[in-house]
Structure 1
Amino acid sequence: MNPPNPINLIQERYGIRAFDPERWNETLTALLSHRSVRAYLPDPLPPHTLETLVAAAQSAATSSNLQTWSVVAIADPTRKDTLAQLAGNQAHIRQCPLFLVWLTDLARLHQLASQRGLPAEGLDYLEMFLTATVDAALAAQNATVAAKSLGLGTVYIGGMRNHPEQVAETLQLPPHLFAVFGLCVGYPDPAKPAAIKPRLPQAAVLHHETYNIAQQEGAIAQYNEIMQQFYQSQQMNVTGDWVEHSLKRVATGQALSGRDRLKEILQRLGFPLR
């Protein structure tokens, strides 16, 4: 099989021929060919695949080397079914052979401070929760790229935040731990291929020297047209354009699928967020 053409990958990522790169490599191919996979074969993963993905995750940057994240690997069908229901009944969680739940983990430092009789007041502040969340995201993205390089597919599951307390109970999480998102991992089902979804034009997200919100207007109008074509090509029944679809997701607190209560739930899970 011939390797993907860089120009074609960029055109798929933006829905248009955006630019012609002068330099290219396998890493860029892996990154630009990312797609969310929601249909998996039942095939088990080779031995030590999980450990390899975690090694890749641990190779990501981490603030001050605090390493304030952890991951729970789920293979048990019953537990995957429970998590699938909590995440809005997403069938691909049940289907994938491996489901990873990525955690902000301040429990480790709390425990170490207690063992040594040392203060850890800083862990109660919003800054440390944000640091741990960023750490978890960086680690998970490394694992996702590693999975792609091994011929595996993935999809992130933000639905872990729909019912955080029930997820914590299912995973037996002590205080100071929070499931940020899940990640399905497995071999993509070739009978149900996933497409590369176009992203916003760079004019909407790339700013030079200072931020200029006015420059995005034309780019977003163009993107609305690109996404309409994408929805049609994928036979997706999406009402309205990308802007309308996106604004519906943030129109009210209720539109957040239960996550509008996240601050109070986090506090009950042991995060004061001072």
Structure 2
Amino acid sequence: MNDTISLIMNHRSIRKYKETPVSQELLERIVAAGQMASSSSHVQAYSVVAVTDPAKKEKLAELCGGQAYVRDCPTFLVWCADLHRLKKAAEQHMPELETYEDTTESFIIATVDTALAAQNAAVAAESLGLGIVYIGGIRNRIAEVSELLGLPELVYPVFGMCLGYPDQEPGLRPRLPLKAVLHMEGYDADEADRELEAYDETMVRYITERTSGERTAPWTQLMADKLSKPARLHMREFLKQKGFELK
């Protein structure tokens, strides 16, 4: 164990923040740390929109499903997969050739690049005493978010991130057992299934205690419930309209 691993192992999602603003210097340092994440072929296919304007955060909170912490956090970051600049580079240097910025592979690269950079930034922020929570709700009404932020063709919001100084101390949420995730030399489905049984018991105890008995469902039940409900089926059409034809 070292300081870096200890920091990572103590990550919690923060949903309540002090009013203290995040300085521009700290914001730039955090995003710069994000930029040092690995990037496929050095394409760096992401951009970040930082929002501090109260009215705009209020609107984003509404678009994210009424999540108050989007409104209340000092800085809200919208992490975007960005193939727009790559297309511009191709048009500059190879205007006569067909290019493939809108393929499924390019889409995957941009989305993964965005996630890697964001997680680097999250660790950097926590090392500086700040807290974060990822906001997948940014995709609930993604076309309106895109319009609000002026996102061009081939740019889409992957997720949001609240950023600020924590005003709460939430407990650690138990993760899957390591043996359910780490497979040596090949995938061991039987072992993974056995580990899920133990994890269900752990999560029942955690959820029961956290909710004072109001919720007691095991993790597998929660995941089954999640998969039984369609979610954000508008994404495919939105991405197509944004130029992601996904060849």
Q: What range describes the TM-score normalised by the shorter chain of this pair?
A: over 0.9
CA distance in 2, matches of 1:46, 1:125: 38
CA distance in 1: counterparts of 2:57 and 2:103, whole angstroms: 32
Counterpart contact for 1:165–1:269, Cα < 8 Å:
no
Question: Secondary structure of 1:38's match?
Answer: coil
How many residue pairs are counted as aligned between the two chains?
Answer: 245
**Are residues 1:235 and 2:211 paired?**
yes
Of 122, 140, 145, the residue aligned with 2:100 is: 122
CA distance in 2, matches of 1:121, 1:163: 30
Separation in structure 2 between the aligned mates of residue 120 and residue 31 of structure 1, nearest angstrom: 43
Matched residue SS, 1:43: coil
Q: Give the CA deviation at 1:125.
A: 0.6
Structure 2 regions of 5+ residues with no counterpart? none
Q: Distance in 2 between matches of 1:210 and 1:105?
A: 34
Q: TM-score scaled to structure 1, two decimals?
A: 0.86
Q: Which amino acid aligns with 1:164?
A: I
CA displacement at 1:47 relative to structure 2 = 4.3
Q: Distance in 1 between matches of 2:195 and 2:166?
A: 32
Q: Which residue does the alignment assign to 2:171?
A: 195
CA apart distance, 1:76: 0.6
User: Is residue 148 of structure 1 aligned with residue 126 of structure 2?
Assistant: yes
Alignment partner of 2:82 out of 86, 105, 120: 105
Q: Structure 2: how far apart are the matches of 1:150 and 1:123? A: 36
Q: CA deviation at 1:106?
A: 0.5
> Aligned partners of 1:47, 1:217: CA distance in 2, in Å?
47
Partner of 1:38: 15
What amino acid sits opposite 1:205 in the alignment? V
Q: Which residue of 1 aligns with 2:191?
A: 215
Match of 2:42 in 1: 65
Which residue of 2 is the match for residue 82 of structure 1? 59
- Give the fraction of aligned pairs with identical amino acids, expressed as a percent: 44
Aligned equivalents of 1:110 and 1:120: distance in 2? 11
- SS of 1:156's equivalent in the other structure is strand
Q: Which amino acid aligns with 1:141?
A: Q
- CA–CA distance in 2 between the matches of 1:118 and 1:241? 57
Deviation track 1:176-235 (CA, whole Å, cap 9, x = no partner) reads 10000000010110xx32111100101211111011111122211111111111112322
Tell me how far 1:120 sits from its aligned partner. Answer: 5.3
Q: Deviations over 1:121-166 (max 9, x none)?
A: 2212100000000000000000000001000010000111111111
Amino acid at match of 1:71: V
Q: 1:204 to 1:166 in 2, by over 3 A?
A: same
Q: Distance in 2 between matches of 1:188 and 1:66?
A: 34
What is the TM-score with the length of structure 2 in the denominator?
0.95
- Specify the alignment match of 1:170 in structure 2: 148
